[in-house]
Amino acid sequence: MPTHAQIIDRALHRIVAGYVFPERAVEIDRAIRDRLAAGEYDALTGAAFCEAVTAHLQEVCPDRHLRLLWQDEPQSAEPEDDDTGRAAFLARLRAENQGVRLVEHLHGNIGHLDIRRIADAGEGGRAIAAAMELVAHTRALVLDLRECRGGAPTGAAMWCSYFFADDQVHLNDIYERSTDSTRQYWTVSPLPAPRYPDRPLYVLTSAATFSGGEDVAYTLQALGRAVVVGETTRGGAHPTRRHPVTEHITVTVPTARTVNAVTGTNWEGVGVRPDLPVPAAEALEEAHEDAIRRLG
């Protein structure tokens, strides 16, 4: 079993090599090694050890994607290549119906989509289209992201694309440290289901909404396309890679950053703030009632 020093050394190696802000990675490395030398982790094991290191990582650099994670079930400790990591991600999305949990029509012909993951646009595009096809003739739509924990930037762009008239809307950019390059994300055309560009749109959020779910909420809000209802989200805006450290421990390293085309920044550390703040449990009822009022 690796020692605390070995685990931290492996994790910090990944952070220093890959973290999107290299200068902050140096600060993180120094701070965690100082705590290790002071014996702060000596009495900790398993999940408690990972939680303590994560708290200290985020104390130096408040990045919600920067974490040391414990898994009870053993995993391969061999480094994953890009293809293996992507295959596992896509398999998880397939098992979760590409993130689409529920499609329903509420009273007054208001659509409600409960989305738990943001699918990859390639494999998940048909599921996104199927959901949008089923709400195509509603008078308003509620996009429920209260339990959405993340997903793919390509899927976030596809979801957003349905709510604009064409492919001429610049959504955001993502800067990748490893290649020192920036990829632009625009609305997509053509789409396999009808667009929904001109009817009321509500996005529901909670304190648990994270990462890819926040991407969709923030983008639609920044572009003035949706009313966000619920709670301020968790605040994780940096695309991330996972690296096994031991059979039970993984380090997650943000390797890129999102820059919104309207605001010039993102939701990292601050979350997406709702236009209509209400407890998450009341957000669907609030959005539904507001839509009925608006439509008359």
Taking the chain (296 residues) in runs of 10, the rounded mean pLDDT of each run is 94 97 96 98 97 97 95 82 77 94 98 97 96 98 97 97 97 96 96 97 98 98 98 95 94 96 96 98 98 95
Q: Which domains does the chain have, with CATH numbers?
A: 1-81+240-254 (3.30.750.44), 96-236+271-295 (3.90.226.10)
Give the per-residue pLDDT at 37: 97
User: In this structure, are residues 246 and 192 in contact, taking their beta carbons and an 8 Å threshold?
Assistant: no
State which H helix or E strand residue 138 sits in.
none
Q: Beta-strand (E) ranges in the chain?
A: 67-70, 100-106, 110-115, 140-144, 170-176, 181-186, 201-205, 227-230, 240-244, 249-254, 256-260, 276-277
Give the distance, in angstroms, between the CA of residue 97 and the centroid of all CA atoms in the same chain: 17
Confidence (pLDDT) at 78: 75
Structural tokens at position 53 = 């290191």
Q: Using alpha carbons only, give the angle 54, 60, 63 rounded to the nearest 5 degrees.
A: 65
Dihedral sign computed on CA atoms, order 205, 210, 213, 216: positive
